[in-house]
A and B are shown apart, each in its own frame.
Chain A
């Protein structure tokens, strides 16, 4: 991946007032001060990055700018003029367009219909659609935003859906474009393309605010970067004059190790052997199309790939809550993949622990207290029972106190409901539950998604420690950096297949990126 090419030459000095200026914006939710006296200037015709940990207040700030929330105090100036933004219609009138992390598209509408939606003129649809079609052709031509106007959105790739979102904003004459974590679901190639589009838009004088937690993208694509921490704007830097290390330190408030320290793996015998594994979803679509791999004791096998290429199904079937066909052996013993002895309990009994991809939907009961979540999944553990019928809540509580302390979960309150912990602490809760079982095999999906940088370091060290204790780990992550940093071998998934295995020392992001897009480097044709 070559982001540096498109990266930030310094913005042309603009005599005009900044495109956006926020003065003293504050917003509180109850006793939580989400934004505290935030002032920022975003110059016209620049790409301005905003970084910060989860809960630092980035989303709140952007929601204020887009009219979803009203600030308790402060002022918004667009082009130097004070502009109150009470709702998103006002934001659109002020020339602000927003591309959300989770797209706001009507999936069974065509591209054209989605673009017109909410911007119809008159009672008849046809003239609006015709007008939009002409505008769309022009926009696509000008901005490398080609997309078939008559395609149904749900049949488009994620990258193309994102283009529709951008087109929607441009069609509404947006001069200022806000993108919230835009590359989370893109392949590296798609991300490259997105940054080229953004650079083009900048060249035309549009202003772009880029919210991301990927420091590499910030370094490559932005002109300036602002850092938020705990609701405050702690620094704004010219990107050319800062470094990822400095930004990370500003975000967390202390020095952070961005690179995982680990020694060489000492792989032992095979723990997990997967042969020709196939999974169909409820609609009968084959999501795993014959996957085979092995994970050895004392090593981490990283599964790279863009989200939605079968990784989730792989974890689900290995974790025992989806059915599959094929052969899976754990320490030489075949696992039942469909029958009565295929559920989360039998998997745990066999020594498989599972940190699921979506901790809030799967890994935790959000309304349960921390101690109840520690028992969750291990509620059959004899240590947690008083007798056949009654659970030993006191024992679970005691175990929870120990785990909260050892995994530095904050606050260490076993009675606090899971939803009241931050993302990173929720993840530590799940990890404390699963890792301390000392499993033969740990399945772990997106271990650091939505987790603060400070906690990322901790979680990575724990995973390495488990590996060094001779356990097998299957790591699924859409973050290439994480895979490259943690895995001892990398398998890349695309469209339900494994495109190839690579040694992290002998590969790079470019090669992995091609595999993630279904292209086997060196081969003439893509495998897709």
Chain B
């Protein structure tokens, strides 16, 4: 069969998938007696109609970029890392420990240390599943799922019993030193003279995420490790023929993946919450799977898909507030997008490929 042109596969197919998902969402909204046109308006203006909305959209998109990149790197090595949630949770712990227990003269140094802590803890949380897969053949999908639960329980224990300041009811750490807060997006844009809404959570983490995307691109397509990783992901027997060690590639890919997921905490824990709270990852680890699927595991695609999901998150929240549409419906819409862009990909691709054949044949 004639393959679809690359540009169509990368843009047309996901766009159509999203449109179908939105169309069905519209039907659902209609079915519960609300106006889908109005709902769309609220979503779009709420998420993209003001710099305030953008501030939230970008904040969510930043988190999803990290977790999406994490899943994408593992995908390239043929590994399905479902443990982004747990790795991000542990990343938060790494950030908190670094910022609470050491004195930092300036936020920039603290940022570097927090990144190191987040990556180390996230990677460590991915190491054991990776090792079990590489050496023992325990399937990484199973082990990483289980490690998500262990991470949640571990964080629960540590927050309640170890890091909670005495006398505090809240299972959370103490606040980090105020001068270690990352610059917010409005401050950064302010340096450039661009006005932006204050009191939005978007912060310097956005820049870190974009840098991470560029680095992942370089890693995958310009380093020897990336070459081995992609080769292994495409064909394990061929990789063995070439002398690529399955154990090493599996370990490296998962360490990098875990580190990227852990980095998400820089955006949330350090950039926004300023302390470590329960459920710190907030489901972003799972959204990362959809983001990577939709972004075709390419860093640029991941960034764009993360933006879409950021929009869905923020627009959905606005819709829930202003239209008395239950929050669950937002989850339904997100699920539809995931369903159509991820699971039902071929349902859209095949008709599109067919249409392209017709067009070509017509000429």
Contacts and interface: CB of A to CB of B under 8 A. Distances in A.
B2 A344 contact: no
B360 interface: yes
A113 to B, nearest CB: 32
Nearest to A377: B242
Contact of B241 (A354, A380, A385): A354
A347 B234 CA distance: 22
B223 A390 contact: yes
Interface string A224-252: 00000000000000000000000000000
A368 B234 contact: yes
A188 interface: no
With a 10 A CB-CB cut-off, give which of B224, B225, B228, B360 has the most chain A CB atoms: B224
Given A379-B224, A390-B223, A365 B1 contact: no
B227 interface: yes
Nearest to B222: A390
B241 A344 contact: yes
B282 interface: no
B224 A391 contact: yes
Contacts of B224: 379-380, 385, 389, 391
B1 A372 contact: no
B243 A375 contact: no
B360 A343 contact: no
B135 interface: no
Contacts of B245: 343
A398 B201 CA distance: 48
A14 interface: no
B180 to A, nearest CB: 31
A283 interface: no
Interface stretch (A355-363, A474-482, A518-526): A355-363
B237 A361 contact: yes
A157 interface: no
A115 B291 CA distance: 49
Interface string B220-235: 0111110110110011
B331 interface: no
A366 interface: yes
A361 B238 contact: yes
A319 interface: yes
A376 interface: yes
Contacts of A348: 243
A346 B244 CA distance: 11
Interface string B235-251: 10110111111000000
A31 B241 contact: no
A8 B360 CA distance: 47
B243 A345 contact: yes
Nearest to A315: B241
Given A343-B245, A379-B228, A29 B2 contact: yes
B139 interface: no
B41 interface: no
A365 B234 contact: yes
A321 interface: yes
Given A29-B1, A368-B234, A356 B241 contact: yes
B327 interface: no
With a 10 A CB-CB cut-off, give which of A345, A346, A361, A389 has the most chain B CB atoms: A389
Contacts, number: 76
A364 interface: yes
Given A31-B360, A365-B231, A379-B227, A393 B242 contact: no
A198 B203 CA distance: 78
B210 to A, nearest CB: 20
A362 B1 CA distance: 24
Given A29-B1, A345-B243, A377-B241, A366 B235 contact: yes
A427 to B, nearest CB: 15
Contacts of A389: 223-225
Given A368-B234, A385-B224, A390-B222, A344 B1 contact: no
B175 interface: no
Contacts of A385: 224
Interface string A168-197: 000000000000000000000000000000
A372 B226 CA distance: 12
B357 interface: yes
Contacts of A447: none
Given A29-B1, A365-B238, A390-B223, A376 B231 contact: yes
B222 A363 contact: no
A344 B235 contact: no
A30 B231 contact: no
A518 B14 CA distance: 58
A356 B242 CA distance: 10
A491 B8 CA distance: 54
Contacts of B238: 361-365, 376
A390 B237 CA distance: 25
Nearest to A348: B243
Given A29-B2, A347-B243, A377-B243, A365 B223 contact: no
A348 B243 CA distance: 9
B227 A375 contact: yes
B303 to A, nearest CB: 22
A347 B244 CA distance: 12
B353 to A, nearest CB: 9
Interface string A306-341: 000000000000011100000000000000000000
With a 10 A CB-CB cut-off, give which of B241, B357, B360 has the most chain A CB atoms: B241
A391 B226 CA distance: 10
Contacts of A376: 231, 238, 242
Contacts of B242: 344-345, 376-377, 379
Contact of A30 (B223, B240, B357): B357
Contacts of A390: 218, 222-223
A412 B53 CA distance: 51
B358 to A, nearest CB: 11
Nearest to B228: A379
Contacts of B243: 320-321, 343-348, 377
Contacts of A365: 230-231, 234-235, 238
A508 interface: no
A390 B223 CA distance: 4
A321 B240 contact: yes
A344 B1 CA distance: 35
Contacts of B223: 389-391
B50 to A, nearest CB: 42
A390 B217 CA distance: 12
Interface in B334-363: 357, 360
Nearest to A419: B3
Contacts of B234: 365-368
B1 to A, nearest CB: 6
B227 A391 contact: yes
A320 B244 CA distance: 11
Given A319-B241, A343-B245, A366-B234, 4 more contacts: A343-B243, A347-B243, A368-B234, A376-B242
Top-4 shortest CB links A-B: A344-B243, A30-B2, A345-B243, A377-B242
8 contacts: A345-B242, A356-B241, A363-B238, A365-B230, A365-B234, A366-B234, A377-B242, A390-B218
Interface of A: 29-32, 319-321, 343-348, 354, 356, 361-368, 372, 375-377, 379-380, 385, 389-391, 393
Interface of B: 1-2, 218, 221-225, 227-228, 230-231, 234-235, 237-238, 240-245, 357, 360
